[in-house]
Amino acid sequence: MASALRLENLTSDRAIIRCCQLRLDILYFLNYELGQALPWHSTLSRTRQRLPEKVFDRSAEAIVF
pLDDT of residue 44: 75
How many whole angstroms separate alpha carbon 36 and alpha carbon 9?
A: 24
Amino acid identity, residue 10? L
26 close to 4: Cβ distance less than 8 angstroms: yes
Q: Which residue, among 6, 8, 33, has the nearest Cα to 18 in the 3D structure?
A: 8
User: Mind listing the pLDDT tens digit of every residue in the chain (65 residues)?
Assistant: 666 666 777 778 888 888 888 888 888 888 888 888 888 888 877 877 787 878 877 876 776 66
* Per-residue pLDDT at 51: 77
What DSSP element (H or E) covers 20? helix 13-22
Q: What is the pLDDT of residue 50?
A: 81
User: Nearest CA to 44 among 24, 64, 9, 15?
Assistant: 15
Q: Is the pTM of this model over 0.75?
A: no
